[in-house]
Amino acid sequence: MAYKSLLTIASSEAGLARAVDASAAIAQEMDAHLETLALGIDRSQLGYAYVGTGAVIMQIAMERAGEEAAGHEKALRAALAKQGQDLRWSLDSAVCQLGALSELVGGRARYSDLVVLPQPYGEGRGTEAEAVLEAALFEGMAPVLVLPEKGAVNPAPKRIVLAWNQSREAMVAARRALPFLKRAEQVVITVVDPSAYGTERSDPGGNLCQLLVRHGVRAEVSVLAKTLPRVSEVLARQCQDIGADMMVMGAYGHSRFREALLGGATRNMLEGAEVPVFMAH
């Protein structure tokens, strides 16, 4: 079992080379094809333009987006040229308005086994970085591997923390991550503060562990108390304690609007990620 079609999208210069390096390493590890997309985005807000100036503003904005896409394409070519000769890759570019970003990215991600993206929060990253991530997850229905700003990215992670809370999203993430899980030396199914009234109250994570073991995964269960204010902090500490190379988790258990207002494990984990985070919804 392996991923055979990978995708990485360049919507800014931040993290571009790192995303190419990581996705190329994974593609070579799994004998996959790497698709890359250079994206230029029109961020203009025509609703605030004076009457009669909309067409002019749109033309200028699209020209700037075209220049942006050309710059990202050049940077992608340079990064791809540094990869091994065995890498199979393709490069495309596109220009779109911010409102059409979801449809464009979702259409590309839908035909990929795995989308590899840089961390959407941080210096040099605009709102489009988060929009690209969400489009791949929700419109593309693809798993996404989000890379931290620093640290090594292992194309075949040896130790993986799998966050488990019995949710649909966590189950989808576990199934989509099987190519990584089966290659790992240790997969720690981590349950934080399980409910005393849930269906798994007598054996938290036990059913999932049994499923994964039958697939040849070296899985074990770790049940942790919520000793820190946020679940994401407990999971991050678990990654540090076992020296994990990757975190696997379900994405956006609550509505994205609620996540944006109140925060959530997904957003908190991505903001402070120190290891690659594999997500699916």
Residue 195 sits in the same domain as residue 130: no
Q: What share of the chain is helix, strand, coil (3-state, %, to 5)?
A: 45, 20, 35
Closest CA to 113 of 251, 25, 249, 6: 6
Residue 183 sits in the same domain as residue 249: yes
Q: How far is CA 149 from the centre of its chain?
A: 13
Mean pLDDT of 66-78: 95
Residue 130 falls inside a structural domain: yes
For 157-193, how does the pLDDT look when each residue is reduced to its tens digit (9 = 90+)? 999 999 999 999 999 999 999 999 999 999 999 999 9
Element of type H or E holding 10? strand 5-10
Residue 51 falls inside a structural domain: yes
Counting residues of the chain whose pLDDT is more than 90, the rounded percentage is 67
For 19-54, how does the pLDDT look when each residue is reduced to its tens digit (9 = 90+)? 999 999 999 999 999 999 999 988 776 555 555 555
Distance in angstroms (rounded) separating the CA atoms of residues 91 and 36: 5
- Alpha-carbon distances, residue 237 vs 2, 184, 242, 275 (angstroms): 29, 19, 9, 11
Q: How confident is the model at residue 262 (pLDDT cuts 50, 70, 90)?
A: very low
Residue 19 sits in the same domain as residue 104: yes
In the predicted structure, residue 260 carries a pLDDT above the cut 60: no
Task: Give the single-character DSSP code of 127.
Answer: H
Residue 187 sits in the same domain as residue 140: no
Counting residues of the chain whose pLDDT is more than 70, the rounded percentage is 90
Average of per-residue pLDDT values in the chain: 89
Residue after which a domain boundary falls, among 125, 147, 169: 147
Helices (H), the chain: 16-30, 54-81, 101-109, 127-134, 168-176, 178-183, 206-214, 231-242, 256-262, 265-271
- Roughly what angle, to the nearest 10 degrees, separates helices 168-176 and 206-214? 20
pLDDT value for 268: 82
pLDDT value for 211: 97
Residue 186 sits in the same domain as residue 115: no
Residue 62 sits in the same domain as residue 173: no
- Please report, for the domain that includes residue 119, its CATH number: 3.40.50.620
pLDDT value for 84: 84
Cβ–Cβ under 8 Å, residues 132 and 101: yes
Residue 192 sits in the same domain as residue 125: no
User: Checking phi first, is residue 52 left (phi over 0); if not, alpha (psi -120 to 50) or beta?
Assistant: left
For 83-141, how does the pLDDT look when each residue is reduced to its tens digit (9 = 90+)? 988 999 999 999 988 888 999 999 999 999 999 999 988 777 778 888 899 999 999 99
Domain limits for position 21: 5-147
Residue 126 sits in the same domain as residue 178: no
Residue 35 falls inside a structural domain: yes
Mean pLDDT of 234-250: 95
Number of domains present in the structure of the chain? 2
